[in-house]
Amino acid sequence: MNNIIDGYLNYLVVEKGLSGATLEAYGADLSRFTRFLKANGIKKAGMIDTAVIIKYLIDLRDEEIGARSRGRHLVSIRGFFKFLVSEKIIKTDPARLIDLPKFGLTLPSVLNVEDIRSIIDAPDRSTLLGMRDAAMLELLYAAGLRVSELLGTRVQEINLEAGFVRVFGKGSKERIVPIGTYAKDKIRQYLSTARPLLLKNRASPYLFFGRAGKMMTRQGFWKRLKAYAVLAGCDKNVTPHSFRHSFASHLLEGGADLRAVQMMLGHVDISTTQIYTHVARSHLKKMHEKYHPRG
């Protein structure tokens, strides 16, 4: 099974051009599925039928894995079995009749402008790491980046004169996103002062980096963000994606065009961006109730 999965992941890279993060997610899902098969004495792909996959999904539910995550696992499994059929490793697809778990609209977690400001102001900018972290947080919010996009940003992809960042998102799709004055100022200070000293005569292609000039890990950045949220006195569940959600929602609340927000987020389908309009409408409804004479 492991060799077949490796073949499938290689196919996703070569034929589908999936990004590293997406590939990592598929690999993790299928590794978990393989462990389940091994625990149940199933050693060959031909031994897997629809009942086995349903039992796996039930086990995920019993482990309190949410409907959305179970849906993602099933998508990974469906793609894998389609590949097995196309490669004539198995004759029929046991996953084809299984429906995705039902889940309703989940509104993104959005921080208000004051929360964002407090967290961005939390790093101690009198220190080298504080200057770096302040610039990272400012860029994360200014451009609505995914954490993988932020950490993967290279020095040449920032244009401070023109005020934009070149981003390579899912599927290595390129987009150009404007950044504001606050981000430009903090990045400029970081580049001129902190970055050379943090590198200690080493070289790194990355705008922001971890140890020895290497790319910072997502877990490492997430921990620093959590610490700054605590320092800022924000008791909400703050994640790197909270900044991206807040970026989109704040733009829409301010009257930005949905298509423009779609382009800045790098969404292929505008229906993905439309979830933020629900957040914006919720905000407007509260404003109406609060300020309208007959709200």
Candidate list 70, 132, 250, 267, residue with the active-site label: 267
Residue 276 annotated in active site: yes
Cβ burial, residue 40 (10 Å; 0-12/13-18/19+): middle
Closest CA to 122 of 225, 256, 5, 268: 225
Residue listed under structure tokens 């079995």: 81
Edge to edge, the sheet with strand 164-168 lists 158-159, 164-168, 174-178
Residue 202 annotated in active site: no
Residue 244 annotated in active site: yes
Residue 146 annotated in active site: yes
Candidate list 32, 170, 175, 226, residue with the active-site label: 170
Candidate list 73, 244, 245, 250, residue with the active-site label: 244
Strands 164-168 and 174-178: antiparallel
Residue 175 annotated in active site: no
Beta-bridge partner residues of 175:
167
Closest CA to 178 of 284, 251, 254: 251
Residue 55 annotated in active site: no
Main-chain phi, psi angles of 114, to 5 degrees: -65, -40
Candidate list 8, 26, 228, 276, residue with the active-site label: 276
**Cα distances (Å, whole numbers) of residue 134 to 93, 106, 123, 183, 194:** 50, 30, 6, 9, 11
Candidate list 70, 146, 195, 250, residue with the active-site label: 146
Candidate list 78, 241, 278, 283, residue with the active-site label: 241
Catalytic residues: 146, 170, 241, 244, 267, 276
